[in-house]
C-alpha cells in the first residue's frame, strides 16, 4: 500500500494528566502516515487523484490547540479519527503524538504514543 508521510506538525495544546498542563499548556508534535492507493495520482499528476493533506495538517493543529484530554493516547485517537474521516480513500493511518517537554522532574527527554487505525469496511 502507498503512503503519504506528514511530519513535524506542531501546535501548542492543553492535553495532560496534571491540572497545570490543562492550564499552562505545552508544545506537541504529530507525525502521520496516511495509507491509500496512489496509482492514479502517479499517472495523472492531478491533486484530485490523491489526498489533499492540507486538511489533515490544519485539522491536527486545531485538535491539538483546542482539545483538552488527560492522555496523549486520546489525543492521538482524535487525530486518527479526523484523518480517516477526511477522505474515504484512506485505508489506514498511523499517528505518533510527541509531548516535547513533559513535566517530569529531572527528565529532559520526550514522551510519544504511536497508534495505527484501519478504516472499518
3-state secondary structure 49-80: HCCCCHHHHHHHHHHHHHCCCCCHHHHHHHHH
Q: Give the DSSP letter of residue 107.
A: -
Point out the catalytic residue in the list 6, 99, 114, 119: 99
Phi, then psi, of 61 in degrees rounded to 5 = -60, -40
Active site residue 96: no
Yes or no: say if 56 and 82 are a contact pair by the CB < 8 Å rule: yes
Catalytic residues: 99
Amino acid at each position: 500500500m502507498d503512503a503519504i508521510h506528514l511530519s513535524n506538525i506542531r501546535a501548542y495544546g492543553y492535553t495532560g494528566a496534571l491540572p497545570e498542563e490543562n492550564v499552562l499548556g505545552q508544545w506537541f508534535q504529530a507525525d502521520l502516515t496516511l495509507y491509500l492507493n496512489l496509482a492514479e495520482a502517479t499517472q495523472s499528476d492531478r491533486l484530485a487523484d490523491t489526498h489533499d493533506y492540507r486538511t489533515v495538517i490544519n485539522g491536527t493543529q486545531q485538535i491539538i490547540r483546542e482539545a483538552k484530554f488527560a492522555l496523549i493516547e486520546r489525543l492521538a485517537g482524535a487525530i486518527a479519527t479526523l484523518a480517516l474521516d477526511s477522505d474515504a480513500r484512506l485505508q489506514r493511518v498511523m499517528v505518533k503524538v510527541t509531548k516535547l517537554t513533559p513535566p517530569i522532574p529531572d527528565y529532559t527527554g520526550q514522551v510519544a504514543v504511536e497508534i495505527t487505525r484501519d478504516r472499518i469496511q
